[in-house]
Amino acid sequence: LPTFRQVGDNLKDRFDGASRVMVSNSDRIRGASNAITSNSASNSVHAQREGLSRRHRYNFQLKPYNPEHKPPGVKDLVYLEPSPPFCEKNPKLG
């Protein structure tokens, strides 16, 4: 079992290396899983047994916001939009 410090360091490394992504619908996946998407079990935990790979279970892909970056891996930390700067005063909010 890793120490609390090791877990924290690992999470901090992933946070520092997080990639901004965009959600992209995949026509290839949608076409391949048409029969399953209409099925009520399409969002089941058993989706892989029913023809959908775990990677494409939700019929969308995460693409890098910057096209020069590689797509995120399974263990990569990603975000959709930057966090607001809470430490800076915002005149609109007071």
Domain assignment of residue 54, yes or no:
yes
- Give the domain extent around 35: 4-79
E-assigned strand segments in 1-94: 19-25, 60-64, 78-79
Domain assignment of residue 64, yes or no:
yes
What are the respective helix, strand and coil percentages of the chain, to the nearest 5? Answer: 30, 15, 55
Domain assignment of residue 22, yes or no:
yes
Give the residue carrying structure tokens 């890793």.
2
Domain assignment of residue 11, yes or no:
yes
Domain assignment of residue 84, yes or no:
no
pLDDT by position in tens, the chain (length 94): 999 999 999 999 999 999 999 998 765 544 444 444 444 444 445 545 555 566 556 778 889 999 999 999 888 999 999 988 888 887 887 6
Q: How many domains does the chain have?
A: 1
